Amino acid sequence: MDTISENRSFGGIQGVYRHHSDSCGCPMTFGLYLPPQAATAPVPMLWYLSGLTCTHENAMVKAAAQQHAARAGIALVFPDTSPRGEDVADDKDYDLGQGAGFYVNATQAPWAPHFRMWDYVAEELPRLLDNAFMIDPDRQAITGHSMGGHGALTLAMNLPGRFASVSAFAPIAHPTQSDWGRKQLGAYLGDDESAWAAHDATLLMRESGFGGPVLVDQGNEDQFLDLLKPEALAEAMAARRQPGQFRMQKGYDHSYFFVSTFMGDHVAFHADALGLA
């Protein structure tokens, strides 16, 4: 693993690291914020999964998360959103290919050789973090924005017991019924829609829900509301009587101005679930 950069931030260290990924078959870059508490003992970690077109860097520099993580004593993990490189398949559209991995394991050509973001986030990167940093692997939580909110919710519900809590900012909530989902799931997983269900937060919520608390924030002025379909997830949470909250925030859009406004709430929410509050 190569260290790209390390910067002091709120008493901790914001690092950027690169390593070869066996899952994705290419080099992968991630950001990791270690709070000051990690200097003396392993700390719990909060995963942040980013949205379409993002790299590890977007949330790392725009979400205003480090100050809240330092106060709570929680590490922040910022994975990339897809494999990258000259040998990695791509598409002319921004919402497919590099920068748009959708946190699935692709089974279809030309995506299958590299687009295995589910295995990367669920298995490979956690092992690397556990071995290389002062991280407590038994205390994890997960959040994300847009495509990353989709990833956070689906990972949490598909991996029971892994995460103490899950939250999302403007998630792609019902991808099997949205152009932000049908296009990508069809390309990556094929035409059999039964294979898509495990990657739809609304369907998972209806079927099994999540064993811990859930927090979802959505701006009511989000320019992508018709693609996100938040009402489907809200209805599924209510029908299942899922512990947690779905909050429609008046006047907010899809940007990182929205994410950074409520980041403190989300870090505090996860800190409480992880026993840090």
Q: Give the catalytic positions in this structure.
A: 146, 222, 254
Residue partners of 269: CB distance under 8 A and separation at least 6:
165, 167, 213, 215
| Contact by Cβ (8 Å): 147, 173 | no
Residue 123, SS3 per DSSP: helix
Residue partners of 93: CB distance under 8 A and separation at least 6:
none
Q: Measured on CA atoms in the order 82, 24, 122, 91, is the torsion positive or negative?
A: positive
**26-34 and 75-79 strand pairing:** antiparallel
Q: What are the CA-CA distances from residue 225 to residues 43, 120, 180, 190, 214 (Å)?
A: 36, 29, 11, 26, 20
